Structure 1
Amino acid sequence: MQLPRMCDVRQRFDAPKVENIAETVHQQLAGLSLSSIIKPDQTVAVTAGSRGIANIAMIIRETVRYLKSIGAAPFIVPAMGSHGGGTVKGQLEVLAGLGVTEQSVEAPIKATMDTVVVAETSFGIPVHFDRFAYEADHVLVVNRIKPHTRFVGPIESGLHKMMLIGLGKHHGAKVYHQGIMSHSFPEMIDSIAARVLHECSVVGGLAILENAIDETAMIEAVAPAAFAGREPELLKQACDWLPRLPFDYADLLIVDRIGKNISGSGMDANVVGRKFNDHAATKDDSVNCLRILIRSLTEESHGNATGIGMAEYTTQRCVDQVDHDKTRVNCVTANHPEAAMIPITLPTDALAVETALQTIGMSAPKDAKVLQISDTLHLTHARISEAYFPLVEASDRLEFVGDPYDFPVNAAGQMSDV
């Protein structure tokens, strides 16, 4: 099969950035007047999730330092639902892979899968809450605000999700995702969030927003009473800063790696256009990728291949990396079993590409619109096929990097990464 010629491109994004993270964390937390709420030596549970948030270890460390400066006794709780295989050991491994250890954040980590049912929604769903966090004198919620890969509403992934699903551990995450089949996440928030904030002594949230090049763009402390009003505003800003593919259509999107540190769905469904349907763009998606090929998993995902089922094709190398137990637990808990389904698997990258290009319709493979990215979090650089070249020439935000070259596959049938 004659494959298309390719070229590297660079994409320019507007990218505001927090220049002094430590100073910003301290300034923002000072604005919550926590010293008037938290008494000396009172314990504060600080949440740490499973996402690959830029500078997360530093942000948590500075949060710990600030709390210590006002006399509090902070500790860290893994707040990641069922991730890490739904086990204490697995969740600690996930945190360590993100650089969050007792040494790096200067505080003890208390991990358990035990929960306390602290309330019940108006439609009968029990609200689980991490036992150690519940037993603490106070809770401080730290999380990134961004569009969720499946939930749709004024509040998606952020402070509320961390408080209800992350701290809900395996039990809570499972029951919430079951409930979402009948009730929307915003409905659940309206039903129970205010009560959880009170019952669990939440003293505030630290919202993190990132720019399109995976840097910290904003850090804002939010008072508990402002969670409901402020998070939708922050979500709108996060959507504006979301990284995007260089083009809104691809016959074949090649993704070098997926993983839980990249997105909750392994690859961000908002980016690849599969938020509403795992295998086709809808009218509500801004991107249409006809076929997707996944080449591997990130090491930080520890074998959790959630999202692999959103692709049509993958490689044997990728399948060999899958921890099927971790993937099953996560996808069943999330009520998204399709995300764990293994796509058509080929022994080499070359065979996977050739097979995928047989299913794109009437376009000849050499004329196909093929787009290769490293992952959905890092989109400054990409590799594009010749069919896109005129679009790059006409764009004021894209530029070629180097000259075109033959499709980058070696004698063993393996491609190079972007």
Structure 2
Amino acid sequence: MGPVKGGSLSNLLKDISIPKMFRAEQSFKKDRIEPEQIPGVVREQLSRPEISSRIQPGMNIAITAGSRGIANVNVITRAIVDCVKEKGAYPFIVPAMGSHGGAKAESQKELLAGYGITEEAMGCPIRSSMETVLLGYSEYGKPVYQDKNAHEADGIIVSCRIKPHNAFRGPYESGVCKMMVVGLGKQKGAESVHSDGLGNMARNLPANAKVVVENSNILFAIPCVENAYDETALIEAIPTEKIFEREPELLKIAFSNMPSLLVKEADVLVVNEIGKNFSGTGVDPNISGTWSTEFGKGGLKVKRTCFLDLRDSSHGNANGMGLADVITKRIFDKLDLDVIYTNCFTSTVLRSGMMPPVVYDDKEAIQACIRTANQIDREHARIVRIKNTLHIGEIMLSEAYYEDVKNGRYPGVTALDEPQELEFDEQGALLTQI
């Protein structure tokens, strides 16, 4: 049973005032590849002699597709499929997402469908299975697994995104090595590389990836890097033998493209929606500052954070809800604990799946954060509101920031209107749009 509207908790919060807020624009570097240009860029990359020679007529080729909300992922994947077909080979897509979807084959296929990756749209089969083969053991004694369908193909193309990880730091974070080890490793592979904790991921990830490269037919990788606006900025094919050299260089580019909340500090962060499509922990802590482990750092310096909703395409997976101080009944009612716990038990990061206090509605969530944040000026609370952590080009800020924004204290932040009261409906749902 969730919280009740008008109960003792509602009475405790009803007199907490929420300050006026205004919309603001954040400006970042805007290098981008237009969606209509993507097929041409993919074809150009796959036409390079050292890449194209690896695709031979008659080969059955597995192409990876993950669970993240990568910009234009359906366009990129279809372009790879088409190029493989043009070479006379036979492509198929493999869901490469570790334990996501509750570690169930059909659920992983459904996750891809949510991104527009279906057999009809891609023009090739999608072979989803949790069955794996053991490739060997890393130098640290970790077993390394691979999706059986991919392993039995004549070759594997690793399509993914390179970006900073949400829980640790190292030369290889979210990218090609992680897709080979965790994505293609399915639940068993994800569990193996996480089994020593996030503090050892920086060593285990490349060590396990080395076993993958040495014991399976990875043809090449074709990762993308995004800009600060969740748009495709770079697509590059990497020969297998260059992956360990090139990935850290592309990760540096991804770091340089990373957006941030430019005000740097806040009393309260309000996140409209979370989900696995935004980050493995629902929100990207590189933005929100809400870390699940001590092995990552950065993002907004904030006292209290509330999450208001869970994206439906996350299929009940609110892994990362434990990074909030407060969530709403709306999220609570969508939780699929079996999916959430499968995910966080596999990663061994239990905090991500822990249940924060649940309040009835959006208004109470914001009020609860204001009320429980210590040593702040409640009447002039510094509140930042975002849609999600992938889209922070436009945000909302409370009145306490207004004069400083107008006076240029925060370079890159521009006020779009004046502070106004937030509007809520009779049920306490937030109506004011960002």
2:119/2:126 contact within 8 Å kept: yes
Report if the CA contact (8 A) 2:260-2:299 is conserved: no
Task: Determine if contact 1:75/1:110 at 8 Å carries over to the other structure.
Answer: yes
Cα distance between partner residues in 2 of 1:288 and 1:277: 16
TM-score (norm 1): 0.95
Output aligned runs, 1:93-132, within 5 Å: 93-132=110-149
- Match for residue 98 of structure 2? 81
Q: Does 1:215 align with 2:231?
A: yes
* 2:253 corresponds to 1:237: yes
Secondary structure of 2:203's counterpart equals helix
Structure 2 gap segments, 5+ residues each: 1-15
- Show the counterpart of 1:408: 423
Paired letter, 2:427:
A
Counterpart position of 2:77: 60
Contact kept, 8 Å, 1:32 with 1:204, in 2: the verdict is no
Cα distance per residue 1:255-314 (max 9 Å; x no partner): 000000011111001111133648xxx994242111100001001101100110000101
Identity of aligned residues (%): 37
Structure 2 counterpart of 1:414, one-letter code: A
Distance 1:87 1:284 in 2: 32
Deviates more, 1:136-145 or 1:350-359: 350-359
Residue 251 of structure 2 aligns to which amino acid in structure 1?
L
For residues 303-358 of structure 1, the C-alpha deviation after alignment (integer angstroms, 9 at most, x for no partner) is 10011000010111111011111111111111111111111111122222222111
The counterpart of 1:18, out of the listed 33, 40, 43, is 33
Count residues in correspondence.
Answer: 414
SS of equivalent to 1:17? coil
Match of 1:167 in 2: 184
SS at match of 1:372: strand
2:384 is paired with a residue whose SS is strand
| Residue 346 (structure 2) pairs with residue 333 (structure 1) | yes
1:260 aligns with 2:269: no
Aligned to 1:116, what secondary structure does the other structure show? strand
Q: Do residues 7 (structure 1) and 18 (structure 2) align?
A: no
Task: Note the alpha carbon deviations across 1:229-280, whole angstroms, 9 max, x for none.
Answer: 11001001101111211321111000000000011111001111133648xx
Determine the structure 1 residue equivalent to 2:319. 306
User: C-alpha offsets along residues 201-255 of structure 1, whole Å, 9 cap, x if unaligned?
Assistant: 1010001001111110000001111111110010011011112113211110000
Contact 1:5 1:366 in 2 (8 A): no
What residue number does 1:203 align with? 219
CA positional deviation for 1:37: 2.8
Q: How far 1:190 moved relative to its partner? A: 4.3
Which consecutive residues of structure 1, in runs of 5 or more, have no partner in the other structure? Answer: none
- Cα deviations across residues 71-110 of structure 1 (Å, max 9, x unaligned)? 1111100000000110011101100011110111111101
> Aligned runs of 1:30-69 on 2, under 5 Å?
30-31=47-48, 33-69=50-86
In 2: Cα distance, 1:32 partner to 1:389 partner:
55
> Structure 2 length as normaliser, TM-score?
0.92
Q: CA deviation at 1:5?
A: 1.0
